[in-house]
Structures are given as structure tokens and as C-alpha cells.
Chain A
Amino acid sequence: MILDAKIPSGRLEDKWREHKFNMKVVSPANKRKYHVIVVGTGLAGASAASTLAELGYQVSAFCYQDSPRRAHSIAAQGGINAAKNYQGDGDSTYRLFYDTIKGGDFRAREANVYRLAEVSVNIIDQAVAQGVPFARDYGGYLDNRSFGGSLVSRTFYAKGQTGQQLLLGAYSSLSRQIGAGKVKMYPRTEMLDLIVAEGKARGIITRSLVNGQMQCFYADAVVMATGGYGNVFFLSTNAIGCNVTAAFRAYKKGAFFANPCYTQIHPTCIPVSGDHQSKLTLMSESLRNDGRVWVPQAKGDKRNPKEIPEHERDYYLERKYPSYGNLAPRDIASRSAKEACDAGKGVGPGGLGVYLDFADAIKRVGKKVVSERYGNLFDMYKQITDENPYEHPMRIYPAVHYTMGGLWVDYLLQSTIPGLFVIGEANFSDHGANRLGASALMQGLADGYFVLPYTIGNYLASEKPGSFSAFKTQGESDLQKAKERTQKLLDIKGKRSPSSFHKSLGHILWNKCGMARNKTGLEQALREIPALREEFWQDLSVPGTGQEFNQQLEKAGRVADFLEFGELLVRDALTREESCGGHFREEHQMPDGEAKRDDDNFSHVAAWEYHKDKDPALHKEPLVFDAVKLATRSYK
């Protein structure tokens, strides 16, 4: 199968505008005849569901949380990028486009990224119109801060809760449509399968998390906004419930999975404190605006950081990357922290930490200003570690945060299954091999408010609305299979809890497919994961029944899919014989330890196709660069 990304011809600057004009449009009177399912209500899902309803489509939205307001977009702290150039510092659509392509280590599609940069400005306007309380300066104008991988200030923020405020904005729009009866909302409901009939996506199978009832929902198109798969590592900054199930089920029904090995390890998280830990907490990248990262120059220096004089400290990011300094991109900052700790210079228990120090900032602007900028983050840090970051430098360490890989989509955000659209973190399209800070919120909302609502019309215009009866046989058969699978989890009656298997899987992936990867380790992981999976299906223990509220059963289903998906991730990492962005293969590095790309052989998207009885098949979508010149990424 040849992957056609359907990138419009014409100049980069004109592609989206011309494409919007050339697409088929459903007339206002006909829109109400079409039914669209949206799975997930984070930034991408909530914005898409509300916008589709505003346009007149009938929408059903689903989320596993008890309310759409709780999706994990809410935890994004630092900000959202937009090429507004309000600071007059030379920002432009092209600069945001270029920074994103370069930040992604030249592994994203030019056309998608340019469109993202183009609509970024509309997002800010939209959010402000909804009442999102972005930070303002004393003149009443919108304020900006700087983020990693960029030399201009283009990040809009609402204290350290930008994700929360943007999500609540999208949630308010969604609530308005629910109240008006245009969106039917199904909270505490999880998607267990995709119904594909006659080659097209026709609906989903769901399970109510309250009473276990499983049923089919049919629609003219399905939109998945189900987030990333970072929790395959067990410990990550994701919410506990984030999972790959919906995406993985779609993959098994024929949607290709692209670049699963592109995972983002965020440099500034609170280090692991013990084996009991259930999740990791991010300290926003915005802290690197004022915080300075350092380790002691001497190995194993256990002195109190305040007693270590300036000349015995190594501000390694400032030393290695003088022009970007502490604002080097995430993948680079993470790897540098690992390098320092591997060299025995790490601080804190177990030596897995580096300092993020605000002493200079407090001296420069005062404690009050620092507290205004980052107060809630400092409080959170103190709450978790019992240490006061105003007095003592923070200890931070990289942790799994975001996944650039996801279901393959074309320029119209449609997967390889016609009628299945994938938006937000769940797709793969815009961040290449590394996402820049403050770009996830931008992409989720760009897809949901400004891209999908147009492109889905192009598909629906050629579909006959509401002809669902023909697909009931397929739906009932899928429903039956989903029921059997759920029952199977309950029937094992072994000894180990779902969490204990999840933790074991996380150990394998973090150690062998984490910040640095090599052939030997990856091959080991490819043996260990199937063995663990086998044990899971023999020794899992899920108490209770399937006809009630049962959190262990939910967890078991998600871990089962992670156990299969983890193998695909490792396979992709093994196949990509180069280092790029968040994917660092130890065999492929420059003499100074920087990542070494191989543009001749790997300038492509790796899209995996599921096969029932054999290994997944790899399809390549070549990446063509017309506007930018492929270059070695340098932040020095």
C-alpha cells in the first residue's frame, strides 16, 4: 500500500487556503443529518466536538473521566505558542514553522507544520473570546514568555495553569453545546473497539465504567482524540488513566501506527522517590526561563548545594549550548542530564537528579516576582519533596511526558481507515521526532477548532448520511468479541495485580527503550515483553465482576493493550537505525555525543500495519523538504 499524505500542491503559504476552497462542503441544511462520534474530551476532542456541533452536525462525545473537564490536557502548565509577534521580536508564521520543523529534528511534514503555525494565531483569539484569562501586562495587553527551542517570546500563558484554562475554555464551549442538546455526552465510558464495515469506520464499541454495560454506537465518521501512550512506561507525567487502548484497537482494525518510537522525555520532572511511586510530576519548562541547571563538577560531591562555590559547579547547558543555554530543546536537555548523572555527578538520593537553581533569579528580580511567575509550581514542588525551592535548588530528572508518534494521518487528519480521523496527541503529524514546549496545546486546539471541522466535511460530503442498519452485523460481532475479551481478563484468576504487570513492563521499556537505546537492549526487550505478556494472560488477578464499577478491570484491559503496543514501540526503535530528536540510538552519535541523523536512509515516516498472525509490516512515507534545507540541528 502506498501512503498518500494528500498534501496539496502549490506554495507552502497557499496550500491550506487553497485546499479549504477546493474541499467539498456539506450544506448547512444537510449537516444535521450526519452523526459524528468524538472519543476523548481533552483540548483536541472538546474543541472538535463543540465546533462540529456549532456547525450543525449531530455529535456524540465520550470520555473515561467522570467529566469532560478532567482530561489530562488540564495538567499542561507553561503555555501555548502562537506566531502573533505581539512582542515585536521578529516572530512570524514562517519562524514558528521553522522552529517546529527544526525542533522536531526534520522528521515532520512541512505542509502540516506550516498550517499549524498559520492557525496558531486564531487559537489565541478564540481562547480570549471564550474568557480564558491569559496573563496581561500593566497596559492590559497580552503577555508572553519564552520557551525552549526558540529565540523569540511567543508563549501565551495563564500562570502555571495554561492547559487548565484552555481546557476549561474548550469545556465551556462543549458544555454550551451539551446544554443546547447538540452534543450527547457520555462520561465514564471507554472505547473498546472501532467498528469497521465495508472498509470504513462506522462506529465504536464502548463499555460503561459505572455498570459495565457494553454497546455499539454507529456514526458517519469517528474522530479519535484519545491522547498519547506515555503510560506504556508505567511512570510518566500522564494521568493514571491515560492509555493506548482506543488507538491500539484502531490499529488492529487497520489504521497504521506511525513513529511509535518517538517518545518525549521531559527534562524537568521531580525525581523518583521510591518503588511505591505511581506517577511523576512535571515542573514546567517555563522554569528554565529563570532557573539555571547545574551539577557539581566533582563526582559524588555530597555537599549541600549552597556550600558548593560557583567555580566548582558545571552549568552544563550554558556551557554546551551558549546561544540557547538553559532553553535548549527538551530532548537535548534530557540527554545532557542523563549524561551528567551517568558520569556520577548526579545529586540527591541515588544520584538521579540535577539542580534547577533560582538563587540568581531571586537575587535579580526578587522573591516576589519569582513567586508571581512560578508560585504554584514552587508550592507543588515543596508539597511533594518537602523541600523549599526558594531556599534550596530544585532537584529534577527527566521523565516520560509526551508521545510524538501516533496513528498515521494524512493532511486531512484522516487515518488509513476512511472515516476515522485522529487529532491531537493521538496522531503523529506535527512534531516530528521531538516536540517543542508549548506546542502540544497549540496542536490539539488547531486540530479541533480549525482543521478537522473543515476536513471532515470533505469526507462526509460523499457519504450517504445515517445509513447504519447495514453495519449492525459487523457491530454486533465486534461487541461480542469485546465482551469475550473482557470476560477473559476476569476468568484468569491468577495471583498478580494489573498494576504489578504494568510496572514490570515499564521497567523493561524505561531501561531498554528510554532516553538512550541500543540494538542489544532493544532485542532483549523484544524477548522480554512477549514473555511478560504470556505471564499476564496466565497469572492476572482481577477481583469482582464485569457488571459493576470495577477499576481493576479497567486497568487490566489497558495494561493488556500496553503489553502488545510496547512491543511495536520497541520494534520501531530497533528499525530506526539513526538518532533523531527523542529517539537516541547509542550506535548513532557524533564524536561529541550529539544525535546523528541519517537523512539518506531515514528521512521518512515509519507507519506500521497490523497483521494477525505475523509481524507488523512497515510502510514508509518519504518526507519531502521543499521550503527548508535539511541541516544538523545546532543549538550551540
Chain B
Amino acid sequence: MKLNLHIWRQKDKNAAGQMKTYTLDGVEESMSFLEMLDLLNEQLIAAKDEPVNFDHDCREGICGACSLVINGTAHGPQEAVTTCQLHMRSFKGQSDIYIEPWRAKAFPVVKDLVVDRSAFDRIIQAGGFISVNAGGVVDANTFLISKNDADKAMDAAACIGCGACVAQCKNASAMLFVGAKVTHLASLPQGQVEKKERVLRMVKTMQDEGFGNCTNTLDCEAVCPKSIGVSHIAKLHREFLAASLTTTSNS
């Protein structure tokens, strides 16, 4: 395969960026998308040009580091797949590929295709946990949890924190990410004690970080590599409303 790659280049957070075009030959269908970029970088290094920076680590679809908007879609054309698991056979017959970073006010560009997603960490720090210290807990089988509830919690907990939901949303909303964590913990008996404070604090931080609101376009679900559904956003609304109406302190 021979490709024209149109890639976003940006020196740092404050510099203006631009699309730049590279021609790449020798791409094989069995290559992963990131291996295709490795190949490009090898050629750029050989030509004393500056290689393209992009986030990646596990390359097996679980760490959530990789984050490219490919031809306008976060994580590219295939459903339920991260960029690192995308293979070039999905681009058969195409000659041009456009590669951009996640774009959202809350995710500033660090360099080229790399963005700063620490806002997600701060949302979790605000309440995405159960307050328990190491040691002194009850036996694991003390809580009986129906298979159904356990599976529901697991489906929500499968979120890899990649941020594709934000990147694809026209409002740059983080509600799928927040909803998944709220649902995960609210589905379990261990998560009940703090559930009101949790949702209030996480939503407040989400707003403070500059993420937008949900207007039901469902783009987030469509691009989520772990197929996390928008029902979690409904659950988030429900939990938030219930907590807002029944909490008096301004925590």
C-alpha cells in the first residue's frame, strides 16, 4: 500500500499547529495502524526530519494511551477497537488518511498528536473511588452480589479512560466517562455509602475542567472502544438528580 498521510503537527502547547502531508510506501495490510506510523517515523529519522509524536503503550487495546482521530473518527473506522488494534487492512483501497489529535478544551495538545488528559485523573481524584484503607476489611464473600449486578458493574468498569468519547462529542462532554464510573460503583453494595457525595463531586470537577454537557448525539457510544453505552449517562443524570435533591450540605 502507498499512502498520503495528512498529519497534525504542533510543536508544543502554545504553538500554532498545521496539517502536513507525508507519502509513505511499503505499508502492509497486516501492520497495525501504529506500526504504520512507526514505519513513517523510521523514514523521517533516516531523512533527518522530525518524527511524529503520538501516545501509545500497551498496544493491545487496554491501557487507553493511544488516541488518534483518523479520518474524522476517534480510533478510526472500526467499531469497538482502539487505534492500536486497528490494522491497515481496514484501509484497503484508500490513498489518503487524515490523522489528528483529540480536540477538546479540557485536553490541551502537548505535541503533535499527544494531548494532556490529566483532567480525567482529577475527576477520579474528586470521588471516583470507595474510601477504604488497606487492611481491616471484611471477607470478600460477605457481600453477595447477583451475577447480573456484578456483570453490570464490570461492563461499566471496562472503561479504559482513553477520552475518545470527549474527542468525538461536539460539546466535548465527559459524561460517558463519568457515567461509567458512577454506574460501576453505584451498582455495588460497597459503593452505596458515598454514592451521593461521589456523583456531586465528580460532576462538579467535570464542569470545572471545562467539559461540555450531553445533548444526546450518542457519538460517544459510537466511538467507545469498549462499547460503553449511553445508558450510563442516563444513570449519571438519575444519580445526580437524586443526590442534588436529597443532599443539604454544600460539599
Binding site for B on A (CB under 8 A): 47, 50-51, 54, 65-72, 74-75, 84, 86, 122, 124-131, 133-142, 158-159, 161, 164-165, 168, 171-173, 175-176, 178-179, 185, 187, 210, 237, 239-241, 273-274, 276-279, 281-282, 379-380, 383-384, 386, 449-450, 453, 495, 497, 499-500, 541, 543-544, 548-552
| Count, chain B residues at interface, CB 8 A | 78
Which A residues are CB-close (under 8 A) to B39?
A: 276
Indicate if the CB atoms of B120 and A129 lie closer than 8 Å: no
Residue of B nearest to A372 (CB): B151
The distance from the CB of A448 to the nearest CB of chain B, in whole angstroms, is 8
Which B residues are CB-close (under 8 A) to A380?
A: 60-61, 85
Which B residues are CB-close (under 8 A) to A379?
A: 80
The distance from the CB of B213 to the nearest CB of chain A, in whole angstroms, is 24
Residue in A74, A138, A497 whose CB lies within 8 Å of B58:
A74
> Residues 26-67 of chain B: 1 if any A CB is under 8 Å from the residue's CB, otherwise 0?
001011101100110110111011110101111111111100
Given contacts A131-B130, A551-B53, 5 further A-B contacts (CB under 8 A): A72-B63, A138-B147, A173-B132, A240-B58, A450-B134
Which B residues are CB-close (under 8 A) to A141?
A: 141, 144
Binding site for A on B (CB under 8 A): 11-12, 28, 30-32, 34-35, 38-39, 41-42, 44-46, 48-51, 53, 55-65, 80-81, 85, 87, 89, 110-111, 114, 116-118, 120-121, 124-135, 137-141, 143-147, 150, 153-154, 157-158, 160-161, 184-185, 188, 190-191
**Contacts A75-B60, A75-B63; is A135 near B150 (CB within 8 Å)?**
yes
Indicate if the CB atoms of A67 and B38 lie closer than 8 Å: no
Indicate if the CB atoms of B153 and A499 lie closer than 8 Å: no
Which B residues are CB-close (under 8 A) to A383?
A: 61, 81, 85, 87
Indicate if the CB atoms of A72 and B61 lie closer than 8 Å: no
**Contacts A131-B153, A140-B145, A168-B157; is A187 near B190 (CB within 8 Å)?**
no
Indicate if the CB atoms of A65 and B130 lie closer than 8 Å: no
**Contacts A129-B190, A158-B154; is A51 near B184 (CB within 8 Å)?**
no
The 4 A-B residue pairs with the shortest CB-CB distance, nearest first, are: A140-B144, A179-B125, A172-B129, A129-B137
**Contacts A72-B63, A499-B42; is A210 near B110 (CB within 8 Å)?**
yes
Indicate if the CB atoms of A130 and B38 lie closer than 8 Å: no
Indicate if the CB atoms of B49 and A543 lie closer than 8 Å: yes
Indicate if the CB atoms of B147 and A277 lie closer than 8 Å: no
User: How far is B46's CA from A541's CA once the two chains are assembled, in angstroms?
Assistant: 8
Indicate if the CB atoms of A176 and B161 lie closer than 8 Å: no
User: How far is B64's CA from A116's CA once the two chains are assembled, in angstroms?
Assistant: 30
User: How far is B32's CA from A274's CA once the two chains are assembled, in angstroms?
Assistant: 11
Which A residues are CB-close (under 8 A) to B129?
A: 130-131, 172-173, 175-176
User: How far is B114's CA from A276's CA once the two chains are assembled, in angstroms?
Assistant: 23
The distance from the CB of B59 to the nearest CB of chain A, in whole angstroms, is 5
Which A residues are CB-close (under 8 A) to B141?
A: 86, 141-142
User: How far is B134's CA from A125's CA once the two chains are assembled, in angstroms?
Assistant: 10
Residue of A nearest to B162 (CB): A70
User: How far is B117's CA from A65's CA once the two chains are assembled, in angstroms?
Assistant: 11
**Contacts A125-B138, A128-B143, A240-B56; is A497 near B62 (CB within 8 Å)?**
no
Residue in A65, A126, A130, A179 whose CB lies within 8 Å of B126:
A179
User: How far is B70's CA from A262's CA once the two chains are assembled, in angstroms?
Assistant: 41
Q: Could you pull out 9 A-B pairs where Cβ atoms are within 8 angstroms?
A: A131-B184, A131-B188, A135-B154, A140-B145, A142-B140, A171-B124, A210-B110, A380-B61, A497-B41
